[in-house]
Amino acid sequence: MDATRVDAGPGRVSLAAVEAPGAPPPPGACDCHVHVFAPDRHPYAADRAYTPGTAGAGDLSAFLARLGMARTVLVQPSVYASDHAALLEGLQALGPDRARGVAVLDEPAGRCLDLASLHEQGVRGVRLNLAVRAQGGGPDAAGRLLRVRDRIAPLGWHLQLHADIVLVAALAETLAALETPVVLDHFAGFRAHAGAAEAGPADTVVALARAIPLYVKLSAPYRAAPGGAHLDELAAFTRRLAAAAPDRLLWASDWPHTGGHGARQGGLDRIEPFRPENAGAALDRLRGWLPGPAGWQRILVDNPARLYAFPVPGAPASSLS
Task: Say yes or no to pLDDT of 56 above 70.
Answer: yes
Return the SS3 of 275.
coil
**pTM above 0.85?**
yes
Task: Say yes or no to pLDDT of 6 above 90.
Answer: no
**Out of 31-45, 104-118, 283-297, which region has the weakest mean confidence (pLDDT)?**
104-118
pLDDT at position 269 is 85
Are 82 and 105 in contact by the 8 Å Cβ rule? The answer is yes
pLDDT at position 106 is 73
* Structural element, H or E, at residue 281: helix 279-289
Comparing CA positions, the residue from 280, 182, 317, 165 lying closest to residue 233 is: 165
For the residues 246-254, what does the mean pLDDT come to? 97
Return the percentage of the chain with pLDDT > 70, whole number: 88
Interatomic CA distance for residues 273 and 12, integer angstroms? 8
Residue 274, C-beta contacts closer than 8 angstroms, at least 6 positions apart: 11, 13, 14, 52, 53, 55, 256, 257, 258, 259
Task: Say yes or no to pLDDT of 260 above 70.
Answer: no
> What domains can be seen in the chain, in order of their start residue?
26-308 (3.20.20.140)
- Start-end of H helices in 131-199: 141-152, 165-170, 172-177, 186-189
Interatomic CA distance for residues 38 and 47, integer angstroms? 17
Return the percentage of the chain with pLDDT > 90, whole number: 79
For the residues 35-48, what does the mean pLDDT come to? 95
What digits encode the pLDDT tens for the residues 148-206? 999 999 999 999 999 999 999 999 999 999 999 999 999 999 999 999 999 999 999 99
Interatomic CA distance for residues 280 and 66, integer angstroms? 8
Comparing CA positions, the residue from 85, 88, 90, 95 lying closest to residue 57 is: 90
Task: Say yes or no to pLDDT of 140 above 70.
Answer: yes
Q: What is the mean pLDDT of the chain?
A: 89
Task: Say yes or no to pLDDT of 136 above 90.
Answer: no
What digits encode the pLDDT tens for the residues 203-249? 999 999 999 999 999 999 999 999 999 999 999 999 999 999 999 99
DSSP result, 282-301: HHHHHHHHS--HHHHHIIII
pLDDT band at 11 (very low <50, low <70, confident <90, very high): confident
Interatomic CA distance for residues 182 and 205, integer angstroms? 12
For the residues 116-142, what does the mean pLDDT come to? 82
Number of other residues whose CB lies within 10 A of the CB of residue 140? 10
Q: Look at the chain and count its residues.
A: 321
- Start-end of H helices in 52-185: 57-67, 85-94, 115-120, 141-152, 165-170, 172-177
